[in-house]
Amino acid sequence: MSPTHCFPWWIAGLATLLLCSPSAFADATVDTSLTTNAATSTAYLAHKLKPQDTGPDITLPTSSHYVVLPPAQIPRKDVLIVFLPGSFAQTGDYEKISQRFAHNGYSVIDLSYDNSTDMQKCDSDSTIVATQDICYFDERKAISFGRDKNYDGTIAQSAPLPYANFDDVLVGDSIVHLLVSAIDTLRHEPANPKTNPDPIYWDQFLIRSAANSPYLVYNSDLNANTDRRQPVYPNWSKIILAGHSQGAGHAAYIAMMIPVPVRRVLMFSGPEDYNSTAQNPKTDPAKRNSVPWLSQSSSTPLSSFWGLRSSDGTQQPSNGAVADLAEKLFGERAVFNWDLLGGAGLDHVHRLTIRAPSTFNSFKNHNSTAVDYAIDDPLFSDPPIYQQWDQMLQTP
């Protein structure tokens, strides 16, 4: 992954501040590996799936899904964690957190999806700013469920959305369709003790009697006739949605908007959607407004939402005013949105904080809640990051 993939497009000129290390995560249809988490010295069963190999309607994601299972000595829970990366990131940038989830007995799909545009385009693009509230909602809906279909299968937006900087994400490339296609592919893989020892295990994460669902799976027969496709929904009661930055917003959006609750929501450094106008500039955090979708009622109880951010209270900006502005945007935005989440987030959303080294710049601080390169920094030898992750999972 190139350094510019670690933070929003509008500050791409600060790439050298991030100190990102390239991700050695080449795509492969199935790549078997036994990986070791330094925090636990435990080997995990991990392999990758190319999204295009899980369904013929999938075209947009270019990197692979990363699937991690607990090793044999750790009892496997009947719960799946779906992790959504941040803007421009690849699933291989989050191996440590995925493996830590597996250490706790969870199966994990680190899902590749269309994160090729920063959601903050809704605010910063002058052609969108007048309708930025609608843009955030429209684009999160399209990326999560598909622009052309609603979650219940009814027809949605028939024409491409009027936001030129975003891809036109149809139902086939939506997060929900990518997820059910990956689960169905794992269900029909041959049993392999190094990657997928019990394929039938995956069947519990799908609801197959879903006649109206727009999300179709092929039972691994990618050449099947259309009448052999099967409509399914994820079994959200057994799924924890997690995400970093942009992915945190998608996790929250899906959990709030679908008609049934998900098991739990884990938000790392996000969501960051906000509204600014010429009268309420981004340089004045006190005047920043949350976007309306965050305050809508939630299908998932707010007590099931957990947020983790990195405190930037003592941070030393490494590039003057620009870094100071980014620090305010990254640091304050998520907390402000947690306060308003579901219309009553202040007393309900569990929030945790870590403190990254004061030498971290704003972007590395933002990434230190979940991204490997920040967690691997020798200055950030902070075991509590694993404790925070565990607490988000284990606390009732």
The confidence score (pLDDT) of residue 150 equals 93
Which letter, b or e, does each residue of 25-54 get, where b requires 16 or more Cβ atoms within 10 Å of its Cβ? bebeebbeeebebeebebebbbbbbbbbbb
- Sorted by sequence, the CB contacts under 8 Å of residue 65 that are 6+ apart come out as 48, 49, 50, 51, 54, 91, 109, 110, 111, 112, 178, 182
The confidence score (pLDDT) of residue 380 equals 72
The confidence score (pLDDT) of residue 218 equals 81
- The string of pLDDT tens digits covering residues 14-40 is 332 233 332 322 222 333 333 444 444
Higher pLDDT, 144 or 60: 144
pTM: 0.83
- The continuous run of DSSP H or E covering 391 comes out as helix 384-394
The mean pLDDT of 182-199, rounded to a whole number, is 94
Tokens at 233, concatenated: 């929904």
Mean pLDDT across the chain: 78
CA 388 to chain centroid: 18
Please check the confidence at residue 328 and state whether its pLDDT lies above 60.
no
The confidence score (pLDDT) of residue 101 equals 97
- The string of pLDDT tens digits covering residues 81-98 is 999 999 999 999 999 999
Total domains present in the chain? 1
The mean pLDDT of 60-78, rounded to a whole number, is 92
- The string of pLDDT tens digits covering residues 102-120 is 999 999 999 999 998 888 7
The mean pLDDT of 321-333, rounded to a whole number, is 49
Domain of residue 155: give its range. 3-394
Confidence of residue 230 (pLDDT cuts 50, 70, 90): confident
The mean pLDDT of 284-299, rounded to a whole number, is 73
Q: How far apart are CA 357 and CA 191, in angstroms?
A: 44
Q: How far apart are CA 197 and CA 390, in angstroms?
A: 25
